Amino acid sequence: MSLPDPAFVITRSGLYAAVYGGRDSRYYHDGSALIGLNVREFMPHDQAVWLISEVEHTLAVGHLHIIEYPLSSHDINRLNGVGPAETLWFEARIKALPFQVGGEDAVLWVASNITARHRLETDLRRLSQTDGLTGLWNRRHFETIAHNEYRAAQQKGATLSVLMIDIDHFKRINDTLGHITGDKMLIAVAGILSDHLRDVDFASRWGGEEFVVLLPESSLVQSVAMAEHMRLAVSSFGFDGNTQLTISIGVASCEPARGLTSLSDLIAQADAALYRAKGDGRNCVRMGLPQMSDSHRSGAA
């Protein structure tokens, strides 16, 4: 049959009983070699369990079941490299058959290649969540992440820290060197901040020349140390025209023993610490918890 999309007959136990159509190797893997095999024979265990669960779910609900999933030739043994090597995305339309196959209930699984659509959706989602100049998360997406991380920290009794960061005298830079140079410096600072982040951390352009960094499970002492590393890295970076750039940073932490009542309180405390850093002469790090001793403060005014 020359169906545009591949259609698989799969039994409740996971037997690939038949496959029709979808033989265009530009878009699909040729699954004919899998006929007569159980999914457990050619798929990794977790993936086979997932596929069988989708079959069982379709048989249980009795109506059309639609899902999306990724797949590549590397995920399936016995294909011998036939078909695209990159990961493809599929939309499966699964329907219970009104008759048994080999004495088992079975479904018809029609897989439509939606890779192009999925890539477009991913690109659009990324563009809607990132700052167009620096590539960091934008403020709206950061706030969503931050609220989720704050709730998780409260539930686990874990520490959550925030860094509020401002480029010193940025208006003067724009006025004297121009906005193009200013944009280059924003990009460079964003790159330096990103280089110091762990995999679990999040950085965002907060607005203008201001940035915010979220540090899950990072104590106040650890967060101050990271902020100081960032400050030193920016001040020692060689910008165009030998222009020296510095940043001021405010740090606040929400720790189990002295938690704040809301995420907005945490950010406000870091923001207040940032303004104290700027008032102390800029190019320094200040903490948002006044009960901590001044000996923990770092940087020079």
Torsion angles phi and psi, residue 282, rounded to 5: 70, 175
Q: How many residues does the structure list for the chain? A: 301
Residues 6+ apart with CB under 8 A from 180: none
Q: Which residues contact 298 (CB under 8 A, 6 or more apart)?
A: 224, 225, 227, 228, 231, 284, 285
The helix (run of H) or strand (run of E) holding residue 54 is helix 45-61
Burial of 275 (0-12, 13-18, 19+ CB in 10 A): middle
Catalytic residue selected from 209, 210, 217, 228 = 209
Catalytic residue at 149? no
Distance (Å, whole) CA 92 – CA 216: 37
For 74, phi then psi, to 5°, come to -75, -15
Separation CA 259–CA 278 (nearest Å): 26
Q: Is 2 helix (H, G, I), strand (E, B) or coil?
A: coil
Residues 274, 166: contact at Cβ < 8 Å? yes
Coil, helix or strand for 159? coil
- Residues taking part in catalysis: 209
